[in-house]
With several copies, the nearest count.
Chain A
Amino acid sequence: MSGFDKVVTSYAEAMKGLSDNMTIIAGGFGLCGIPEGLINQIKSMGTTGLTVVSNNCGVDGFGLGVLLEDKQIRKMISSYVGENALFEKQLLANELEVELTPQGTLAEKMRAGGAGIPGFYTATGYGTPVGEGKDVKHFDGRPYILEPSITGDFAIVKAYKADRFGNCIYRHTARNFNPMAATAGKITVVEVEEIVEPGELDPAHIHTPGIYVDRIIKGTFEKRIERKVLAKEER
Protein backbone atom coordinates (compact mmCIF):
# COMPACT_ATOMS: atom_id res chain seq x y z
CA MET A 1 0.00 0.00 0.00
CA SER A 2 2.58 2.51 -1.14
CA GLY A 3 0.01 5.30 -1.31
CA PHE A 4 -0.27 5.08 2.44
CA ASP A 5 3.43 5.02 3.33
CA LYS A 6 3.88 8.28 5.20
CA VAL A 7 7.46 7.92 6.34
CA VAL A 8 9.81 10.75 5.41
CA THR A 9 13.54 10.65 6.06
CA SER A 10 14.51 14.28 6.57
CA TYR A 11 13.22 17.02 8.83
CA ALA A 12 13.20 19.37 5.84
CA GLU A 13 10.73 17.04 4.13
CA ALA A 14 8.75 16.65 7.36
CA MET A 15 8.08 20.39 7.63
CA LYS A 16 7.95 21.18 3.91
CA GLY A 17 5.33 23.80 3.13
CA LEU A 18 5.59 25.66 6.41
CA SER A 19 5.71 29.37 5.76
CA ASP A 20 5.49 32.67 7.63
CA ASN A 21 2.32 33.58 9.52
CA MET A 22 0.96 30.04 9.63
CA THR A 23 -0.75 28.44 12.61
CA ILE A 24 0.91 25.43 14.20
CA ILE A 25 -0.82 23.15 16.68
CA ALA A 26 1.68 21.39 18.90
CA GLY A 27 1.21 18.36 21.16
CA GLY A 28 2.87 18.10 24.52
CA PHE A 29 2.32 19.12 28.14
CA GLY A 30 5.21 21.06 29.58
CA LEU A 31 8.28 19.26 28.23
CA CYS A 32 6.51 15.89 28.22
CA GLY A 33 5.66 14.40 24.84
CA ILE A 34 6.92 17.22 22.64
CA PRO A 35 8.15 16.80 19.05
CA GLU A 36 11.66 17.97 19.80
CA GLY A 37 13.14 17.53 16.34
CA LEU A 38 10.23 19.16 14.52
CA ILE A 39 10.49 22.19 16.79
CA ASN A 40 14.22 22.43 16.11
CA GLN A 41 13.48 22.16 12.38
CA ILE A 42 11.10 25.12 12.61
CA LYS A 43 13.83 27.04 14.39
CA SER A 44 16.35 26.26 11.68
CA MET A 45 13.87 27.25 8.96
CA GLY A 46 13.53 30.68 10.57
CA THR A 47 9.82 30.90 9.82
CA THR A 48 8.30 33.92 11.53
CA GLY A 49 4.93 35.40 12.47
CA LEU A 50 3.78 32.02 13.74
CA THR A 51 0.68 31.41 15.82
CA VAL A 52 1.42 28.44 18.03
CA VAL A 53 -1.34 26.54 19.79
CA SER A 54 0.12 24.51 22.62
CA ASN A 55 -0.67 24.07 26.30
CA ASN A 56 2.72 25.56 27.23
CA CYS A 57 5.66 27.25 25.54
CA GLY A 58 8.59 25.15 26.70
CA VAL A 59 11.45 26.56 28.74
CA ASP A 60 14.44 28.74 27.92
CA GLY A 61 16.46 26.90 25.31
CA PHE A 62 14.29 23.79 25.08
CA GLY A 63 11.01 22.82 23.47
CA LEU A 64 8.92 25.61 21.98
CA GLY A 65 11.07 28.03 23.98
CA VAL A 66 13.71 27.87 21.23
CA LEU A 67 11.30 29.53 18.79
CA LEU A 68 11.34 32.64 20.99
CA GLU A 69 15.07 33.18 20.50
CA ASP A 70 14.65 34.62 17.01
CA LYS A 71 11.16 35.93 17.71
CA GLN A 72 9.50 33.41 15.39
CA ILE A 73 6.28 33.30 17.43
CA ARG A 74 3.81 36.14 17.05
CA LYS A 75 1.06 34.62 19.18
CA MET A 76 0.67 31.78 21.66
CA ILE A 77 -2.68 30.13 22.45
CA SER A 78 -2.01 28.31 25.72
CA SER A 79 -3.35 27.57 29.17
CA TYR A 80 -0.12 28.18 31.05
CA VAL A 81 3.00 30.00 29.92
CA GLY A 82 5.94 31.94 31.21
CA GLU A 83 8.13 29.15 32.60
CA ASN A 84 10.89 30.91 30.65
CA ALA A 85 12.47 34.32 31.12
CA LEU A 86 12.56 35.07 27.40
CA PHE A 87 8.83 34.53 27.13
CA GLU A 88 8.17 36.99 29.92
CA LYS A 89 10.51 39.53 28.38
CA GLN A 90 8.88 39.40 24.95
CA LEU A 91 5.41 39.50 26.47
CA LEU A 92 6.18 42.59 28.52
CA ALA A 93 7.79 44.23 25.45
CA ASN A 94 4.64 43.52 23.43
CA GLU A 95 6.66 41.45 21.00
CA LEU A 96 4.47 38.44 21.73
CA GLU A 97 0.72 38.05 22.06
CA VAL A 98 -0.87 35.46 24.36
CA GLU A 99 -4.40 34.13 24.27
CA LEU A 100 -4.90 32.32 27.55
CA THR A 101 -7.35 29.44 27.20
CA PRO A 102 -8.45 27.02 29.93
CA GLN A 103 -6.69 23.69 29.58
CA GLY A 104 -9.83 21.62 29.05
CA THR A 105 -11.27 24.16 26.64
CA LEU A 106 -8.00 24.11 24.70
CA ALA A 107 -8.05 20.32 24.44
CA GLU A 108 -11.69 20.34 23.37
CA LYS A 109 -11.13 23.13 20.83
CA MET A 110 -8.47 21.01 19.13
CA ARG A 111 -10.65 17.91 19.18
CA ALA A 112 -13.62 19.87 17.82
CA GLY A 113 -11.45 21.41 15.11
CA GLY A 114 -10.38 17.99 13.95
CA ALA A 115 -13.90 16.59 14.20
CA GLY A 116 -15.65 19.21 12.06
CA ILE A 117 -17.43 20.77 15.02
CA PRO A 118 -17.02 24.53 14.63
CA GLY A 119 -18.10 25.40 18.17
CA PHE A 120 -19.37 23.95 21.45
CA TYR A 121 -20.80 25.22 24.70
CA THR A 122 -18.97 24.91 27.99
CA ALA A 123 -19.46 26.19 31.53
CA THR A 124 -15.72 26.72 31.83
CA GLY A 125 -14.84 30.39 31.85
CA TYR A 126 -18.38 31.75 32.17
CA GLY A 127 -18.34 34.94 34.26
CA THR A 128 -14.56 35.21 33.97
CA PRO A 129 -12.30 37.20 31.63
CA VAL A 130 -12.28 34.12 29.36
CA GLY A 131 -16.01 34.45 28.78
CA GLU A 132 -15.97 38.14 27.90
CA GLY A 133 -17.56 38.86 24.55
CA LYS A 134 -18.55 35.25 23.96
CA ASP A 135 -22.08 34.05 23.21
CA VAL A 136 -23.89 32.83 26.30
CA LYS A 137 -26.65 30.25 26.21
CA HIS A 138 -28.55 28.61 29.04
CA PHE A 139 -29.12 24.86 29.13
CA ASP A 140 -31.25 23.53 32.01
CA GLY A 141 -30.96 26.94 33.62
CA ARG A 142 -27.18 27.05 33.71
CA PRO A 143 -25.16 29.52 31.62
CA TYR A 144 -22.57 28.27 29.15
CA ILE A 145 -20.27 30.09 26.73
CA LEU A 146 -19.72 29.25 23.08
CA GLU A 147 -16.13 28.31 22.28
CA PRO A 148 -15.05 28.10 18.64
CA SER A 149 -12.84 25.23 17.56
CA ILE A 150 -9.21 25.48 16.46
CA THR A 151 -7.47 24.08 13.41
CA GLY A 152 -3.95 24.67 12.18
CA ASP A 153 -2.00 24.75 8.95
CA PHE A 154 0.35 22.27 10.56
CA ALA A 155 0.07 19.97 13.54
CA ILE A 156 3.30 18.74 15.09
CA VAL A 157 2.96 15.65 17.23
CA LYS A 158 5.18 13.36 19.26
CA ALA A 159 4.25 9.67 19.38
CA TYR A 160 5.94 6.58 20.77
CA LYS A 161 5.46 4.23 17.84
CA ALA A 162 3.85 4.59 14.45
CA ASP A 163 3.42 2.19 11.59
CA ARG A 164 4.03 3.30 7.99
CA PHE A 165 0.31 4.00 7.54
CA GLY A 166 0.49 6.58 10.31
CA ASN A 167 -1.26 4.64 13.06
CA CYS A 168 0.24 5.95 16.29
CA ILE A 169 0.47 4.98 19.92
CA TYR A 170 1.69 7.20 22.75
CA ARG A 171 3.61 6.25 25.86
CA HIS A 172 2.29 6.97 29.38
CA THR A 173 1.31 10.61 30.00
CA ALA A 174 3.28 11.75 26.95
CA ARG A 175 -0.06 11.28 25.23
CA ASN A 176 -1.64 14.48 26.65
CA PHE A 177 -2.56 16.89 23.83
CA ASN A 178 -0.94 14.89 21.05
CA PRO A 179 -3.96 12.88 19.82
CA MET A 180 -6.14 16.00 19.51
CA ALA A 181 -3.36 17.99 17.85
CA ALA A 182 -2.97 15.17 15.32
CA THR A 183 -6.58 15.57 14.19
CA ALA A 184 -6.49 19.35 13.83
CA GLY A 185 -3.71 20.04 11.33
CA LYS A 186 -4.22 20.52 7.61
CA ILE A 187 -0.84 18.80 7.49
CA THR A 188 -0.08 16.59 10.46
CA VAL A 189 3.53 15.59 11.07
CA VAL A 190 4.39 12.99 13.70
CA GLU A 191 7.84 12.50 15.16
CA VAL A 192 8.21 9.04 16.69
CA GLU A 193 10.65 6.96 18.65
CA GLU A 194 10.11 3.88 16.51
CA ILE A 195 8.57 3.10 13.12
CA VAL A 196 7.02 -0.35 12.71
CA GLU A 197 5.33 -2.19 9.86
CA PRO A 198 1.53 -2.16 9.40
CA GLY A 199 0.05 -5.00 11.40
CA GLU A 200 2.53 -4.75 14.25
CA LEU A 201 0.29 -2.46 16.31
CA ASP A 202 -2.95 -3.95 17.66
CA PRO A 203 -5.83 -2.40 15.64
CA ALA A 204 -7.94 -2.19 18.81
CA HIS A 205 -5.32 -0.12 20.59
CA ILE A 206 -4.31 2.54 18.09
CA HIS A 207 -4.46 5.97 19.72
CA THR A 208 -4.30 8.00 16.50
CA PRO A 209 -5.61 6.28 13.35
CA GLY A 210 -3.41 6.87 10.31
CA ILE A 211 -6.08 8.84 8.47
CA TYR A 212 -5.10 11.91 10.50
CA VAL A 213 -1.39 11.64 9.75
CA ASP A 214 0.39 13.00 6.68
CA ARG A 215 4.06 12.51 7.48
CA ILE A 216 6.08 10.44 9.94
CA ILE A 217 9.69 10.89 10.88
CA LYS A 218 11.84 8.90 13.27
CA GLY A 219 13.47 11.21 15.79
CA THR A 220 15.82 10.99 18.71
CA PHE A 221 14.69 12.59 21.93
CA GLU A 222 16.40 14.16 24.89
CA LYS A 223 13.20 13.92 26.98
CA ARG A 224 14.21 16.57 29.47
CA ILE A 225 12.46 16.32 32.84
CA GLU A 226 10.97 19.55 34.18
CA ARG A 227 10.44 18.58 37.82
CA LYS A 228 12.11 15.45 39.02
CA VAL A 229 10.55 14.52 42.35
CA LEU A 230 11.49 11.30 44.11
CA ALA A 231 9.73 9.11 46.65
CA LYS A 232 10.52 10.24 50.20
CA GLU A 233 12.81 7.38 51.08
CA GLU A 234 14.96 8.33 48.06
CA ARG A 235 15.40 12.00 48.87
Chain B
Amino acid sequence: MALSRDQIAMRVAQEFKDGDYVNLGIGIPTLAANFVPEGIEVMLQSENGLLGMGRYPTEDEVDADMINAGKETVTAINGASIFDSAESFAMIRGGHVDFTVLGAFEVDVNGNIASWMIPGKLVKGMGGAMDLVAGAKNIIVTMTHADKHGNSKLLPACKLPLTGVNCITRIITDLAVLEVKDGAFHLQERAPGVSVEEIKEKTAGKLVVPDNVSEMSV
Protein backbone atom coordinates (compact mmCIF):
# COMPACT_ATOMS: atom_id res chain seq x y z
CA MET B 1 0.00 0.00 0.00
CA ALA B 2 1.19 3.50 -0.73
CA LEU B 3 2.93 5.15 2.21
CA SER B 4 1.24 7.81 4.30
CA ARG B 5 2.88 11.21 4.66
CA ASP B 6 4.23 10.15 8.04
CA GLN B 7 5.63 6.94 6.57
CA ILE B 8 7.41 8.80 3.80
CA ALA B 9 8.87 11.10 6.45
CA MET B 10 9.89 8.07 8.49
CA ARG B 11 11.73 6.57 5.51
CA VAL B 12 13.44 9.90 4.83
CA ALA B 13 14.66 10.06 8.42
CA GLN B 14 16.41 6.70 7.96
CA GLU B 15 18.78 8.45 5.56
CA PHE B 16 20.18 10.72 8.26
CA LYS B 17 23.60 10.04 9.73
CA ASP B 18 24.67 11.06 13.19
CA GLY B 19 25.99 14.61 13.07
CA ASP B 20 24.23 15.65 9.86
CA TYR B 21 23.21 19.25 9.32
CA VAL B 22 19.84 19.08 7.63
CA ASN B 23 17.53 21.54 5.90
CA LEU B 24 13.95 20.40 5.64
CA GLY B 25 11.48 21.96 3.23
CA ILE B 26 7.87 22.71 4.01
CA GLY B 27 5.38 19.79 4.14
CA ILE B 28 6.45 16.12 4.31
CA PRO B 29 10.16 17.04 4.67
CA THR B 30 9.42 18.93 7.90
CA LEU B 31 7.73 15.81 9.32
CA ALA B 32 11.01 13.89 8.99
CA ALA B 33 12.28 15.70 12.09
CA ASN B 34 9.75 13.70 14.13
CA PHE B 35 11.22 10.35 13.08
CA VAL B 36 14.97 10.68 13.55
CA PRO B 37 16.13 7.18 14.58
CA GLU B 38 17.37 6.36 18.07
CA GLY B 39 21.06 7.14 18.54
CA ILE B 40 21.17 9.57 15.65
CA GLU B 41 21.34 13.31 16.13
CA VAL B 42 20.80 15.84 13.36
CA MET B 43 20.83 19.60 13.54
CA LEU B 44 18.22 21.55 11.63
CA GLN B 45 19.08 24.58 9.54
CA SER B 46 16.40 27.09 8.68
CA GLU B 47 17.41 29.24 5.76
CA ASN B 48 16.13 32.51 7.16
CA GLY B 49 19.12 32.33 9.50
CA LEU B 50 18.97 29.69 12.23
CA LEU B 51 21.13 26.63 12.85
CA GLY B 52 19.83 24.42 15.64
CA MET B 53 16.11 24.91 15.17
CA GLY B 54 14.12 23.42 18.05
CA ARG B 55 10.51 22.44 18.60
CA TYR B 56 7.54 24.78 18.28
CA PRO B 57 7.15 27.11 21.27
CA THR B 58 4.75 26.95 24.16
CA GLU B 59 2.38 29.89 24.43
CA ASP B 60 4.81 31.56 26.86
CA GLU B 61 7.76 31.06 24.54
CA VAL B 62 6.14 32.53 21.42
CA ASP B 63 8.32 35.34 20.10
CA ALA B 64 7.62 37.26 16.89
CA ASP B 65 11.38 37.59 16.39
CA MET B 66 11.93 33.83 16.38
CA ILE B 67 10.56 32.16 13.27
CA ASN B 68 11.61 29.51 10.76
CA ALA B 69 11.79 29.61 6.97
CA GLY B 70 8.11 28.68 6.82
CA LYS B 71 7.42 31.84 8.89
CA GLU B 72 6.22 29.67 11.78
CA THR B 73 7.09 30.47 15.37
CA VAL B 74 9.90 28.20 16.62
CA THR B 75 12.48 27.81 19.36
CA ALA B 76 16.24 27.24 19.25
CA ILE B 77 18.16 24.40 20.88
CA ASN B 78 21.06 24.89 23.27
CA GLY B 79 24.06 25.48 21.06
CA ALA B 80 22.10 27.10 18.24
CA SER B 81 23.45 29.98 16.23
CA ILE B 82 21.59 32.77 14.49
CA PHE B 83 22.94 34.70 11.52
CA ASP B 84 21.92 36.82 8.57
CA SER B 85 20.49 35.45 5.33
CA ALA B 86 23.71 35.90 3.34
CA GLU B 87 25.57 33.76 5.89
CA SER B 88 22.73 31.26 5.86
CA PHE B 89 22.94 30.79 2.11
CA ALA B 90 26.73 30.77 2.25
CA MET B 91 26.28 27.61 4.33
CA ILE B 92 23.84 26.20 1.82
CA ARG B 93 25.59 27.20 -1.39
CA GLY B 94 29.02 26.37 0.01
CA GLY B 95 27.93 22.75 0.54
CA HIS B 96 28.11 22.84 4.33
CA VAL B 97 24.54 21.60 4.81
CA ASP B 98 24.80 17.82 4.58
CA PHE B 99 21.24 17.07 3.63
CA THR B 100 18.35 18.87 2.05
CA VAL B 101 14.91 17.34 1.81
CA LEU B 102 12.33 19.04 -0.35
CA GLY B 103 9.18 18.45 -2.30
CA ALA B 104 8.76 18.66 -6.08
CA PHE B 105 6.19 18.68 -8.87
CA GLU B 106 8.43 16.68 -11.21
CA VAL B 107 11.86 15.07 -11.34
CA ASP B 108 13.43 13.64 -14.49
CA VAL B 109 15.99 10.97 -15.36
CA ASN B 110 18.76 13.58 -15.57
CA GLY B 111 18.18 14.76 -12.03
CA ASN B 112 16.43 17.93 -13.09
CA ILE B 113 13.75 19.17 -10.73
CA ALA B 114 10.68 21.37 -11.17
CA SER B 115 9.12 22.54 -7.94
CA TRP B 116 8.23 26.19 -7.99
CA MET B 117 6.14 27.29 -10.94
CA ILE B 118 3.12 26.09 -12.86
CA PRO B 119 2.58 28.30 -15.91
CA GLY B 120 -0.88 29.78 -15.93
CA LYS B 121 -1.11 29.69 -12.15
CA LEU B 122 -0.03 32.61 -10.02
CA VAL B 123 3.72 32.39 -9.44
CA LYS B 124 4.60 33.20 -5.87
CA GLY B 125 8.33 32.62 -6.18
CA MET B 126 11.10 30.12 -5.60
CA GLY B 127 12.12 31.29 -2.13
CA GLY B 128 15.28 29.41 -1.23
CA ALA B 129 14.56 26.28 -3.28
CA MET B 130 16.90 27.10 -6.18
CA ASP B 131 19.72 27.84 -3.77
CA LEU B 132 19.11 24.63 -1.86
CA VAL B 133 19.12 22.36 -4.90
CA ALA B 134 22.24 24.06 -6.27
CA GLY B 135 24.12 23.94 -3.00
CA ALA B 136 23.43 21.02 -0.71
CA LYS B 137 25.68 17.96 -0.79
CA ASN B 138 22.83 15.48 -0.72
CA ILE B 139 19.32 16.22 -1.77
CA ILE B 140 16.33 13.99 -1.26
CA VAL B 141 13.12 14.74 -3.07
CA THR B 142 9.92 13.55 -1.42
CA MET B 143 6.67 13.50 -3.34
CA THR B 144 3.85 11.26 -4.33
CA HIS B 145 4.88 9.04 -7.22
CA ALA B 146 1.98 10.26 -9.36
CA ASP B 147 -0.43 13.17 -9.17
CA LYS B 148 -4.06 12.76 -8.19
CA HIS B 149 -4.99 12.03 -11.81
CA GLY B 150 -2.47 9.19 -11.86
CA ASN B 151 0.09 11.02 -14.00
CA SER B 152 3.68 10.12 -13.20
CA LYS B 153 5.91 12.77 -11.60
CA LEU B 154 9.06 10.84 -12.55
CA LEU B 155 9.58 11.87 -16.13
CA PRO B 156 11.92 11.44 -19.09
CA ALA B 157 12.23 15.23 -19.03
CA CYS B 158 10.59 17.80 -16.77
CA LYS B 159 7.84 19.75 -18.49
CA LEU B 160 7.53 22.56 -15.96
CA PRO B 161 10.08 25.37 -15.56
CA LEU B 162 13.07 24.00 -13.64
CA THR B 163 14.27 24.72 -10.14
CA GLY B 164 17.67 23.15 -10.81
CA VAL B 165 19.51 20.91 -13.24
CA ASN B 166 21.39 17.63 -12.69
CA CYS B 167 21.07 17.96 -8.95
CA ILE B 168 18.68 15.27 -7.72
CA THR B 169 20.16 11.86 -6.95
CA ARG B 170 17.60 10.38 -4.58
CA ILE B 171 13.81 10.30 -4.50
CA ILE B 172 11.53 8.91 -1.84
CA THR B 173 7.89 8.62 -2.88
CA ASP B 174 4.82 6.97 -1.43
CA LEU B 175 5.68 3.92 -3.55
CA ALA B 176 9.46 3.64 -3.77
CA VAL B 177 12.99 4.73 -3.07
CA LEU B 178 14.88 5.50 -6.27
CA GLU B 179 18.35 6.62 -7.19
CA VAL B 180 18.80 8.92 -10.19
CA LYS B 181 21.93 8.23 -12.25
CA ASP B 182 23.11 7.56 -15.79
CA GLY B 183 19.90 8.95 -17.28
CA ALA B 184 17.53 6.62 -15.44
CA PHE B 185 15.63 6.05 -12.24
CA HIS B 186 17.08 3.04 -10.39
CA LEU B 187 14.54 1.35 -8.18
CA GLN B 188 16.01 0.51 -4.79
CA GLU B 189 13.11 -0.18 -2.47
CA ARG B 190 9.35 -0.49 -2.76
CA ALA B 191 6.70 0.41 -0.22
CA PRO B 192 5.36 -2.60 1.73
CA GLY B 193 2.78 -4.35 -0.40
CA VAL B 194 3.43 -2.25 -3.49
CA SER B 195 4.32 -4.27 -6.56
CA VAL B 196 7.17 -3.54 -8.93
CA GLU B 197 4.55 -3.51 -11.69
CA GLU B 198 2.66 -0.61 -10.08
CA ILE B 199 5.90 1.34 -9.77
CA LYS B 200 6.77 0.62 -13.41
CA GLU B 201 3.34 1.75 -14.47
CA LYS B 202 3.59 5.02 -12.56
CA THR B 203 7.15 5.87 -13.64
CA ALA B 204 7.17 7.63 -17.01
CA GLY B 205 10.96 8.06 -17.18
CA LYS B 206 13.35 5.19 -17.85
CA LEU B 207 13.29 2.83 -14.86
CA VAL B 208 15.99 0.31 -14.04
CA VAL B 209 14.75 -2.53 -11.86
CA PRO B 210 17.19 -4.92 -10.17
CA ASP B 211 16.40 -8.60 -9.74
CA ASN B 212 15.50 -8.17 -6.14
CA VAL B 213 13.68 -5.11 -4.82
CA SER B 214 13.43 -5.15 -1.06
CA GLU B 215 10.56 -3.65 0.86
CA MET B 216 11.13 -0.49 2.85
CA SER B 217 10.99 -0.93 6.59
CA VAL B 218 8.70 1.79 7.86
Contact = CB atoms under 8 A, between A and B. Distances in A.
Is B a genuine binding partner of A? yes
Contact of A176 (B41, B48, B96): B48
Contacts of A204: 82
Interface stretch (B117-125, B194-202, B204-212): B117-125
B173 to A, nearest CB: 23
A199 B57 CA distance: 18
A55 to B, nearest CB: 7
A17 interface: no
Contacts, number: 252
Nearest to A232: B56
A90 to B, nearest CB: 12
B193 interface: no
A82 B122 contact: yes
A171 B65 CA distance: 7
Interface string B47-84: 11111100111110011111110111110111111111
A32 B64 contact: yes
Contact of B135 (A3, A79, A116): A116
A230 B62 contact: yes
A128 interface: yes
A228 B94 contact: no
Interface string B21-63: 1000000000000000000111101111111100111110011
Contacts of A2: 18, 41
A170 B51 CA distance: 16
Contact of A107 (B66, B85, B96, B162): B85
Interface size class of A (residues with CB under 8 A): 35 or more
Contacts of B71: 29-32, 226-227
A48 interface: no
A125 B70 CA distance: 21
Given A104-B93, A227-B71, A88 B122 contact: yes
Interface in B132-179: 134-135, 161-166
B216 interface: no
A212 interface: yes
B7 interface: no
A227 B82 contact: no
Interface string A218-230: 0000011111111
B118 to A, nearest CB: 13
B191 to A, nearest CB: 27
A3 B90 contact: no
B92 A177 contact: no
A130 interface: yes
B59 A102 contact: no
Given A107-B85, A172-B82, A175-B83, A211 B131 contact: no
Interface stretch (A38-46, A65-73, A178-186): A178-186
Question: Which of A104, A211, A212 lies at the interface centre, i.e. has the most chain B CB atoms within 10 A of its CB?
Answer: A104
B95 interface: yes
A80 B124 contact: yes
B112 interface: yes
Contacts of B117: 129
Contacts of A107: 84-86, 88-89
A225 B64 contact: yes
A1 B86 CA distance: 27
Interface of B: 17-21, 40-43, 45-52, 55-59, 62-68, 70-74, 76-97, 112, 117, 122-131, 134-135, 161-166
19 contacts: A3-B40, A29-B48, A29-B71, A30-B71, A31-B64, A79-B128, A80-B127, A92-B122, A100-B123, A104-B47, A105-B130, A114-B90, A124-B131, A127-B112, A173-B68, A176-B48, A176-B49, A176-B84, A203-B82
Given A116-B92, A199-B78, A227-B71, 6 more contacts: A104-B86, A123-B135, A173-B66, A209-B87, A210-B79, A232-B56
Interface of A: 1-4, 29-33, 55, 78-83, 88, 91-92, 100, 102-108, 110-111, 113-117, 122-130, 160, 163-165, 167, 170-180, 183, 198-199, 203-204, 206-207, 209-212, 223-234
